[in-house]
Chains A and B, each alone.
Chain A
Amino acid sequence: MFIHGRKNHACPVNGLRPNYFVYRKRRLFLKTRMAYTKKNEARYIAHLDLTRVFDRALRRAKIKAVFTEGFNPHPKISFGPPLPVGVEGQREFVDMELSTLPDIPEKYFLEETVNKLQSQLPGGIELIDYAVRSQADKALTAVINLARYRTEGLLAGFAEVDRILEFCQKWLAREEVIGVRFQKGKKVERNIRPFVKRITVLAQEAAQADQAGNNAISMQFDIVTGNSGSVRPIEVLESLRDLAGLPVDLSGVYTVREGLFIEQPDGRLLDPIEILNLLAESGEAV
């Protein structure tokens, strides 16, 4: 599983401790994938700032990242699809290329690295899973095609689940739904309907109704993500309110991304780390 550095040096044979001086310059490059949470204060860290956050944490932890060549070398760190600022992430992904020495067992190195890195990451970012990527594995953004979000919000007044489902069906029945978004002060209009794969109403409890007669409602959105763009769940909620008449109060909506998946042609949802483990077990090449 080790991927070699520029010198293309052979892997050490078990039990033999290689001469340090021979291997000093010939570090091994290991491709890793980690899953992390992005909660509490960390949810306000913008996606564009995340590379810096990880790069600096690696440097503080004295973990050597692999850098790109050229005048402005930067660490080989890449993330999955961006999480909107303010939205919490329960299982986000990052790929990092790290440099290790040939005499350190891979499993031990990874465990150590995760522990060291965790101690230098901001509160709210917790490493929860990790795996080694195979050489030919594709980038996260190239494979992840589905994001699952949960929103929790308030409904003005009570509505039966069936009624809410009806709102959603009415909305999903449309072929085109124009969503308006402001990007750098410019109004951008696009069809957001194709991005919404499924809407599930998770819970809607009348018991939680507050004195003003508002009800808590929790919904799940499976959203298509990838190179051709995506949509934020809050936009979908807004559209549900405006077009289908769902009486939701947008100002107090809490959003969390529960997971990112690689949806298979047969509809199976695979987790980006799960898929690496499966491949490793079956011994298949990607």
Chain B
Amino acid sequence: MHNKDNERIRSRLDRILLKVMKPGRYVGGEWNIIHKDWDKTDVKAAFIFPDVYEVGMSNLALRILYGLINSYDEFLCERAFAPWPDMEEKMKEEGIPLYALESFHPLKDFDVVAFTLQYELSYTNILNMLKLSEIPLRSSDRIKTDRHEFPFVIAGGPCAYNPEPIAPFVDFFLIGEGEEQFPAALHVIQENKNKGKSKIEILKELTKLQGIYVPMFYDFAYNQDGTIQEFKVEEGAPRLIKKTVMQDFSAAYFPEKVIVPYTEAVHDRVMLEVMRGCTRGCRFCQAGMIYRPLRERSPEALIEQGQRSIEATGYEEISLVSLSTSDYTCVNRVLEELMAKMQEKGVSVSLPSLRLDSFEVKIAEQVQKVRKSGLTFAPEAGTQRLRDVINKGVTEEDLLRTTEAAFRAGWSSIKLYYMIGLPAETYEDLDGIIDQARKVLEISRKAGRRGAKVTVSASSFVPKPHTPFQWEGQDSMELLKQKQEYLKKRLRDQRIKFIYHDAGTSFIEAVLAKGDRRLASLLEWVVNAGCKFDGWTEYFHLELWQRGMTETGIEPSFYANRKFDQDEILPWDHLSTGVKKSYLWGEYEKALSEETTPDCRGRCGECGVCPETAKPVRYRQID
């Protein structure tokens, strides 16, 4: 039907590529790219990362699902990213719609257009990308006109656990882990499309799969005060949509032949996912709740995958990734073996974020053998009291002991991550941050690193759905700015670098994170006004958002700053991570009374995930 679309796009592209920054983002052709026969595949899917190429190519979900979907003969999966504004302008001038990097087919020609929802601030990019693809924004507009003129617009990823602000734009969401669910959904589409079923019929069929949320089958009624009065479900659709989980994570598909970009990606290395889930139970952390239970991958599988990945990609670095890699039971063994095998190939092994208490000197020395870049620690809060509130089970002693070990092992720059605006925070807690930075400097001096530098990073707390703090309100922008100023004034020191996030950005993030369906019209408004790339300071326009709120009658503090009631219906109550709401509330109450909850590897906290959703999997380290 659209056979020549791709050739037309490709030939037009050459005229504009020399006029944009980093044209390598827009031409594909990378090492290990998969080209499949367009005419010989039943279902054509485009995996879309709604941010720029270098960011999107760093995403593990993309790597996994791209390889996985393409491993099926009947499917094809291509990639698309948000064009940088300079490219967008040129594409519009030349009349080039958004296309996929493999075949240059416009997104409109695909059967399924799948967005990954990694952060709320990418929502405007999703809408903007649909516009650039000439696909109607609202699901209802795509369905009413015909049966299959437009692709299914679907989405998954962490933000799908409260997708309400973008629900009217998406035909269905995939809740949970996609390795089994995504192909299953594509198979339903394939079978039913072949039978000549309409889109609505296919969507009804899809609700029979676990973790599929079709927003058009659900509706909300609201109270006078704006809170949700009632949640209505169309007959046949499930009342509670429960996430899907990979039960056997060791056997889960792992992409070894990943695409190697020529333009450097943000994370341009082999990423070995050592485990999924985290047992720590930090109360602000959404990932720690939604990826439960903990499932480790076997050390043998990891070492094998690491070696094969290096052979297939030629990468010079392997990173052991997960929410808390140093908690992985066999981390020492995997590190040792991988490094022994990789050193002669000029390949280094690295760990991303590290926890203070489990960061042993042994690991420090291991990693340091190959590379000595800066180290990052995340105490998150400045005092023990506040760390107890958020259940970040680290002590100042941990911090000082491990930073000392790091300084002695040769590091000279250390980054400390904190959050400001946490529930129950006082100015004493901010003083604690200042105090800690000074103590770390003091330690560096003692350890003989006189030129050491400490970077203090303070991000603003954003309450997230499905966490114990989901009922909390965010500090007002004014208060956050005051707190930033407070720290800035007191951290004036040549050896300390203080960085903080824009309060306006965090505010919009909170509005969207805790938002409901009524925000959809606001999103449409701001996208039409030109908002995009909100996560990039240079493109974030708070004033446009504020104008949009006035125009569409949205009171932002209702979402961002208000404390939600215990018995209120939350906009995401119909989506289940497996963690009981009562558990979250219990954790919230414990937080306010400064009580901690131990790591659930020691004692089960009875959150409700195990064993109903999946069983935890751990490996034993034999030294």
A residues whose Cβ falls under 8 Å from a Cβ of B: 41-42, 44-46, 49, 52-53, 55-60, 65, 67, 71-73, 75, 85-86, 120, 122-124, 251-252
Contact = CB atoms under 8 A, between A and B. Distances in A.
Contact of B371 (A67, A72, A122): A72
Interface of B: 15, 17-18, 22-24, 27-31, 260, 262-264, 268, 310-316, 345-347, 371-372
Contacts of A60: 31, 311-314
A53 B262 contact: yes
Nearest to B346: A67
A136 B80 CA distance: 48
B314 A55 contact: yes
Contacts of A46: 22, 24, 262-263
B314 A252 contact: no
Which of A46, A52, A67, A73 has the most chain B CB atoms inside 10 A of its CB? A52
B23 A86 contact: yes
A85 B21 CA distance: 10
A65 B17 CA distance: 34
B267 to A, nearest CB: 14
B346 A75 contact: yes
Given A65-B346, A75-B346, A86-B17, A56 B315 contact: yes
B17 A56 contact: no
Contacts, number: 70
Contact of A57 (B17, B23, B311, B314): B314
Contacts of A65: 346
B339 to A, nearest CB: 14
Contacts of B372: 71
B73 to A, nearest CB: 25
Smallest CB-CB A-B distances: 5 pairs: A56-B314, A41-B29, A59-B314, A60-B314, A86-B18
21 contacts: A44-B27, A45-B24, A46-B22, A46-B262, A46-B263, A49-B264, A52-B316, A53-B262, A55-B314, A55-B346, A58-B314, A59-B315, A59-B347, A65-B346, A67-B346, A75-B346, A85-B18, A86-B18, A86-B23, A122-B30, A251-B15
A44 B23 contact: yes
Given A41-B29, A124-B29, 9 more contacts: A53-B262, A55-B314, A55-B316, A56-B314, A72-B371, A73-B346, A86-B18, A122-B262, A251-B15
A41 B27 contact: yes
A164 B16 CA distance: 28
Nearest to B29: A41
A123 B264 contact: no
B313 A44 contact: no
Contacts of B312: 60
Given A41-B29, A56-B260, A73-B346, A85 B15 contact: no
A122 B316 CA distance: 17
Contacts of B345: 59
Q: Which of A44, A53, A251 has the most CB of B within 10 A?
A: A44
A67 B30 CA distance: 25
Contact of B262 (A49, A59, A75): A49
B263 A123 contact: no
A132 B312 CA distance: 28
A268 to B, nearest CB: 34
Nearest to A53: B262
Contacts of B24: 44-46, 49, 85
A242 B263 CA distance: 34
Nearest to A124: B29
Nearest to A59: B314
Contacts of A57: 314
Contacts of B263: 45-46, 49
Contacts of A120: 314
A59 B23 contact: no
A55 B311 CA distance: 13
B375 to A, nearest CB: 14
Given A46-B22, A49-B262, A123 B314 contact: no
Contacts of B347: 59
A12 B312 CA distance: 35
A120 B310 CA distance: 13
Nearest to B24: A44
A79 to B, nearest CB: 15
A123 B17 contact: no
Contacts of A55: 314, 316, 346
A122 B17 contact: no
A252 B15 CA distance: 7
Contacts of B371: 71-72
A141 to B, nearest CB: 22
Nearest to A71: B372
A75 B316 CA distance: 10
Nearest to A75: B346
Contacts of A86: 17-18, 23
A11 to B, nearest CB: 24
A85 B31 contact: no
A123 B315 CA distance: 18
A124 B27 CA distance: 13
Contacts of B23: 44, 85-86
A252 B18 CA distance: 10
A60 B347 CA distance: 12
B29 A56 contact: no
A73 B371 CA distance: 9
Contacts of A52: 262, 264, 268, 316
Contacts of A44: 17, 23-24, 27, 262
